[in-house]
Amino acid sequence: MNLFSPLTLGDLQLPNRLVMAPLTRVRSGIEGVPGPLVVEHYKQRASLGLIVTEGTYPSHAGQGFPGQPGLVTPEQIAGWTNVADAVHSAGGRLVAQVMHAGRVTHEGTNGGREVVAPSAIAIAGETRTYEGKAAYPVPHALTTDELPGVIADFVQASRNAIAAGLDGVEIHSANGYLLHEFLSPASNQRDDIYGGSPENRARFVVEVVTAVAEAIGAGRVGIRVSPEHNIQDALETDAADVLATYGALADALAPLGLAYLSVLHREPAGDLVQQLRTRFGGPLLVNSGFGEVTNRDEAMAIIADDLADAVVVGRAVIANPDLVARWLKDLPLNAPDPLTFYGAGAEGYTDYPALAH
């Protein structure tokens, strides 16, 4: 077994263990419709074992960024159908990352809709809206009665992804967005059954994932978490609480038979990640390279040392659409240009060259 060995993730059959990370690239316009540029971008990267799309909103209120794609309107679903058809025609597989931004947005981004979160606690700092930079607002604390509607949005978006022809979904419960906001004791200060204890803070995430799995099949559903990542004020600084919270989550998800658990953490070999792998009991994907770029040697070692079943890679895939071929033969890489990570055009998106065959 190595990085280039086949892998089964639930209903998905991967030819290799390199997974394209969900990467926010905001090139879908004000209507959130993935167009020809997005089609080309993902098609170029079809040789990856699995493509996870950029975070895609399940409701207009859940939109986090200008130019972010959605899975809500008929036009958006049609756009994703074009993406799925292109990736499949090139021999690839892709899942949609379904992401509700929670409090990490603004009325100037989500069409004037109420910004929501587990608790009425704003993020410190500013966000980019269609009108320019603005301070993050104090969000509306979702009531217990409102939560089923949010679950329904995740379910419908996931059904829409399948209807568009994608191979599955990844539920985004990381990086400070809505589901992560429930897990973090800093952003979740509720006093109902969704707040307080680690089990209570994990409850809403479990309910969302369970509902999506029931709707489209557990073998088409993964989940992404980022314990101790500590960004966007979703702070998790008590190691014992982190293990209790994510352990409770893993224990509750284990019986569902999900396709995978994807963990973003700086120490994939550490006790936390490996405990979560054991308790989850299904395939583990790891992504260590947020602070530092994941390189070939590290990725190869993660699989060789059986620390995970697959490796999730971001920046190297941005700059190298044919990363699998390059890493297989240990060939030179294109360097990513951070100045073009976010933007509207082809530059830094579809113009990184592949090696001549």
Tell me which residues are annotated as active site: 177
CA–CA separation, 332 and 62 (whole Å): 39
The helix (run of H) or strand (run of E) holding residue 160 is helix 147-163
Residue 85 Cα distances to 42, 159, 354, angstroms? 11, 17, 21
* Buried/exposed 224-252: b ≥16 CB within 10 Å, e otherwise: bbbbbbeebbbebeeeeebbbbbbbbbbb
3-state secondary structure 4-19: CCCEEECCEEECCCEE
Helix and strand numbers, DSSP H then E, in the chain: 10, 14
Cβ proximity of 96 and 81 under 8 Å: no
Phi and psi of 48, rounded to 5°? -60, 145
Q: Which two tokens stand for residue 220?
A: 């088409």
The helix (run of H) or strand (run of E) holding residue 304 is helix 296-304
Burial (CB count within 10 angstroms: exposed 0-12, middle 13-18, buried 19+), residue 6: exposed
Cβ proximity of 178 and 117 under 8 Å: yes
Burial (CB count within 10 angstroms: exposed 0-12, middle 13-18, buried 19+), residue 341: middle
CB atoms within 10 A of CB 28: 24
